[in-house]
Amino acid sequence: MITITDTAAEQIKKQLIDEPEETGMRITVVGGGCSGFQYELGFSQKRHGDYLIFNNGILILIDEESLKLVDGMILDYKSGLHGAGLVFDNPNASRTCGCGISFSTQ
């Protein structure tokens, strides 16, 4: 399961407004970044093999391998003096990078 906070959902919905109906937010984990894995976010339609998660009014599209790495994650939105953006609170990450999008599970 992936949880999207109210604040994050509000920001994502603003971005989805111009997207075609049935578009969801795709979360993918790929190799790379300074810690081993990194998150990729985007909007797309459902693909074969996707897991569909509905949370806080947002359709999340995710493949099986990525889901294993982010199961239990909370996606939040923070703003401050250093900028604003989505923040990943991933219980599977044993180490994260200062950039906020790179993590390790070892």
What are the pLDDT tens digits along the chain (106 aa)?
899 999 999 999 999 998 998 899 999 999 877 778 888 999 999 999 999 999 999 999 999 999 999 999 999 999 877 778 898 898 887 777 665 666 677 6
Residue type, 59: L
Tell me the CATH number at 36.
2.60.300.12
Query: Is residue 77 within 8 Å of residue 11, measured between CB atoms?
Result: yes
Query: What pLDDT, on the 0 to 100 scale, is given for residue 97?
Result: 67
Count of the separate structural domains present in the chain:
1
Please state the pTM of the whole predicted model. 0.84
**Using only C-alpha atoms, what is the Rg of the chain?**
13
In degrees rounded to 5, what are phi and psi of residue 33?
A: 75, 180
Query: What pLDDT, on the 0 to 100 scale, is given for residue 106?
Result: 67
The domain containing residue 89 runs over which residues?
3-104
Pairing of the two strands 58-62 and 24-32: parallel
∠ at Cα 33 (27, 42), nearest 5°?
25
